[in-house]
Structure 1
Amino acid sequence: MNRDDVIYLALLAFSMCFGLYYRRINDHIKKKYIGASLGFLIVLIVSRVHIIHVLITTIVNGLLILYTDRRKCQVYVFSFSFLYLFFFRTTAYFGIPYPPSHTNLVQMMLILKIIGLAFEVNSSYQLSLNKGDAQNNTDDERLENETFQIKDIGFLDICCYLFCYCGVLTGECHPVYKL
């Protein structure tokens, strides 16, 4: 077993143990920032200097979600993410050292989460457009439209969601995470 694998397993074990403390945090805002800070630290430990790829993906996709048309933001995020993933996987051809294998894992998990978030933002926008038709909906449809809407989110909310320590190494996100 090489050094990176030992670090990865130690971080997974630490994350599981930290969950016992994390569950006891009642303040939603404090919990969000603690989870994101720890997640960022884990990514930094695993990726070292190659964290730049994770940061580029996060910044560009966050801006795409916030500042492009919400009817098409998922298309833009999907396109950029997979184009950048193609670049990321071929960095050796551009004279850039190939990132560690665990950074590859983190990058793929991040891309899956950001694309899912873009689709959720798009769905929420579509639901808000349909809200005008709420008079014709049944009570169940109205409840669904109100329950699953993402309210105004900011760049920091996106970063906290993506870097939540629960999912940076495994792809999971805290089951009650709220944006």
Structure 2
Amino acid sequence: MNIEWRNRTFFGKQALEFSEEDKFFVIKKGIVEVQTKSGSVLTYLGVGDMVIANENLDFFARTALDLEETKIDLPLFPGYYDALLVERLDEYHYNAEARVSICLKKLAEKFGTNRDGEIQITPIFTQYDIANYCNLKREYISVLLRRMAGRKIIRMKPKPWAVLDMQALEQYISENGY
């Protein structure tokens, strides 16, 4: 007997396991963390993004997660995650301050909510997440975030974190580019 699961639900911090038949899913609700086999965060995926089963990557539900399996007639993009990996590798040309700023910018753009002139980042992300994404120590992340907060680029307390001025954040990235 073969059961076809079109919709799947996962709980926060649960690993997503796919079978050989699983190919392509659309995120209906929640956030997925995509990691390389070495444990480095490649990206975070959210509502509307696609999850393509890939044996070289690990997928984790960061929040309660609903996936819907989708059938497509096109060949699956074998290089879909390769493009993300190249983008991430390119970020390592930047110094630590710029990498942390780039991470915050991506989180604000993808998972932020515009409220009262600031972009509030969903509170599930922590300094440990940013440290893992940027391959830095959590303590150093704290120093860099406080530095940006001192320049009124971001607000750290109370949670959720907020980007107060996106243009100032982009300027900070270019100032600290290398």
Please give the range of the TM-score, normalised by the shorter of the 2 chains.
under 0.3
**Higher RCO by CA contacts (8 Å cutoff, separation 6 or greater):** 1
TM-score (normalizing by structure 1) = 0.26
TM-score (normalizing by structure 2) = 0.26
Q: Specify which structure has the higher proportion of helix.
A: 1
